[in-house]
Amino acid sequence: MSQNFLFIDEPRTLVEDVEGGIRYLPAIVDATRAGRWFDAIRAAVEWHSERRPMYDRVVDVPRLTAGFALDDAALPPALDEAARVVRDAMGVDFTHVGLNFYRDGRDSVAPHNDKLHSIVPGYPIALLSLGATRRMDIREKEPAMPGSKRRAWKIELEAGSLLVMSHASQLHFDHGIPKVTAPVGPRISCAFRVRPASGRW
């Protein structure tokens, strides 16, 4: 598998497709505003700890989660402000936001793709990072050409950055946040999506 280790300080397209592919947009907000949003969202949100079946046992999900419809009256003001900035940056009327709170390097999310039945086709997923920098691994599910290697990237997601993934890219690429052994501070990921009318964050 061919891998690239990326510290990106300017907009970069990793994958191209007809819906916009996978793009990394650093510093869509400055560090001061990103820090203010992180503190306010961490304090205001009622975080949930989940347990899920895995193989023959039930295990703790290694992160805390939450989510909102963006028209929810209970949406924290800082999250509403962040949603407006992301909407303006993308030109997309997102409807929901899913939140992951990574408390330290032991928290993670396994490689996966978004469940396509739960997002409206043609609209992107926009991941806003707040707090500590964490690495995201993106990998191709199958080689693009017979006999070639699967493409993969390791991207350092910095506070105030936006990772944008097309709906179509979820068919061909997985993404995840691996555990790390080095000390690392807490991070919040805000995943903005367009859900069907009956959708949940």
Is 198 part of any domain?
Answer: no
pLDDT value at position 192?
A: 98
- Please give the C-alpha separations between residue 101 and each of 84, 106, 180, 200, in angstroms, as whole numbers: 21, 12, 15, 18
| 55 within a domain of the structure (yes/no) | no
43 Ramachandran zone, left/alpha/beta (phi>0; psi -120 to 50): alpha
- Angle (deg, nearest 10), helices 31-44 and 77-90: 130
CATH number at residue 36: 2.60.120.590
User: What pLDDT score does 9 carry?
Assistant: 72
Torsion sign over Cα 30, 32, 35, 40 = negative
pTM for the whole thing? Answer: 0.91
pLDDT tens string 81-129: 999 999 999 999 999 999 999 999 999 999 999 888 889 999 999 999 9
Q: Is residue 132 part of a domain?
A: yes
- Residue 201 belongs to some domain of the structure: no
pLDDT score of 60? 77
The answer to whether residue 58 sits within a structural domain is no
H-assigned helices in 140-185:
none
Q: How many CB atoms lie within 10 A of CB 130?
A: 29
* 1 pLDDT higher than 70: no
* Range of the structural domain that residue 38 is part of: 2-48+63-193
57 in a domain, yes or no?
A: no
**Which of 8-17, 131-140, 170-179 has the lowest average pLDDT?**
8-17
Within a domain: residue 182?
A: yes
Condensed to tens digits (0 to 9), the pLDDT of residues 18-65 reads: 999 999 999 999 999 999 999 999 999 999 998 766 567 667 789 999
What integer is the mean pLDDT of 14-20? 93
Residues 6+ apart with CB under 8 A from 52: 58, 59, 61
Report H helices in the chain.
31-44, 77-90
**How many domains in the chain?**
1
**Do the domain assignments include residue 142?**
yes
Distance CA 50, CA 160 (A): 27
Characterize the bridge pairing of strands 162-165 and 125-131.
Answer: antiparallel
DSSP 146: T
44 C-beta neighbours (distance < 10 Å), count = 14
